């Protein structure tokens, strides 16, 4: 895998179609790799939707329920509206991104979340995203080390200390105040990135996207065949409850989706298929 780190400095907005094309290609790569883990050839079901509450756009929900993935969703969206649905910008906007969540049949295999997004308004544009790992009661130091070292490798060409900065941001963002704990074992998180060098920021953003599968696939190949029992599933269900609490009470992406008039089915794909309290 190679990345173009030496593109000319530019402050111009990227072409939307270039960004969208990359996101859809990444979405397809992730789906293909996830499907390779299904022993009986189960495939993602894809469902397009139209953005009826804005100027134009829509997205595609891709969901699988199989023998490896109890439920996983890999969604793409690209929408344009008249009023930015938040406090950090105003006026018309364009937003596009890929977001995914996995809920595994085997409790020993952790949940993983990934998102990269691009947003622009009439006066500014920025990048956001990251990925984080949430064991469902069964932490593994080797998994955590591999996950974080891959994230660090993705960010290394773009500045000393960037990984530490985004790791700290993830720890702060994915914190569940009423549980007084982080949602999982962390990862990286960034938002409102615009350094003034659009080509550098775009390359960094793509590097995060291109390293995601490397961060999780070795973990899944090792964990999905591990033995487990009914007590392990009960533990998994309880930790899934904590995951749902964060997504419904604190996650900014959930709020942005609802406030922008997005597709509720796509927004709520992050919810686990079964959870307990």
Give pLDDT tens digits for 231-248.
999 999 999 999 999 999
SS3 sequence of 176-216: ECCCCEECCCEEEEEEEECCCCHHHHHHHHHHHHHHHHHHH
The verdict on domain 16-270 having CATH code 3.40.50.300 is: no
CA count, 13 A, side-chain hemisphere, 75:
28
Residue 40 annotated among the catalytic residues of the structure:
no
Cβ within 8 Å of residue 222, ≥6 positions away: none
At residue 9, the pLDDT reads 59
Q: Does residue 5 carry a pLDDT above 90?
A: no
Choose, from 103, 113, 148, 211, the residue flagged as catalytic: 113
Domain boundaries, the chain: 16-270
pLDDT in tens, 35-74: 999 999 999 999 999 987 667 799 999 999 999 999 999 9
pLDDT of residue 54: 60
State the pLDDT at residue 1: 31
Residue 16 pLDDT > 80, yes or no? Answer: yes
Give residue 267's pLDDT. Answer: 84
């Amino acid at each position: 895998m190679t990345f173009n780190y030496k593109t000319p400095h530019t402050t111009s907005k990227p072409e939307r179609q270039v960004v969208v094309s990359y996101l859809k290609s990444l979405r397809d790569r992730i789906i293909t790799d996830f499907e390779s883990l299904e022993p009986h050839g189960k495939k993602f079901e894809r469902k397009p939707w139209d953005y009826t509450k804005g100027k134009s756009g829509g997205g595609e929900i891709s969901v699988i329920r199989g023998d490896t993935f109890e439920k996983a969703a890999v969604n793409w969206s690209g929408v344009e509206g008249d009023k930015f649905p938040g406090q950090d910008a105003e006026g018309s906007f364009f937003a596009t991104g890929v977001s995914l969540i996995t809920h595994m049949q085997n409790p020993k295999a952790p949940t993983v979340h990934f998102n990269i997004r691009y947003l622009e308004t009439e006066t500014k544009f920025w990048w956001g995203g990251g990925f984080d790992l949430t064991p469902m009661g069964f932490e593994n130091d080797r998994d955590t080390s591999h996950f974080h070292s891959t994230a660090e490798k993705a960010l290394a060409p773009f500045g000393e200390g960037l990984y530490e900065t985004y790791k700290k941001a993830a720890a702060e963002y994915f914190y569940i105040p009423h549980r007084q704990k982080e949602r999982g074992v962390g990862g990286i998180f960034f938002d409102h990135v615009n350094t003034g060098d659009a080509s550098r920021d775009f390359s960094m953003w793509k590097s995060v996207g291109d390293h995601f599968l490397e961060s999780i696939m070795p973990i899944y190949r090792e964990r999905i065949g591990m033995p487990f029992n009914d007590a392990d599933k009960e533990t998994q269900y309880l930790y899934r409850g904590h995951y749902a609490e964060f997504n419904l009470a604190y996650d900014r992406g959930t709020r942005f989706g609802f406030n922008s008039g997005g597709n509720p089915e796509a927004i709520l794909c992050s919810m686990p298929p079964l959870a307990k309290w």
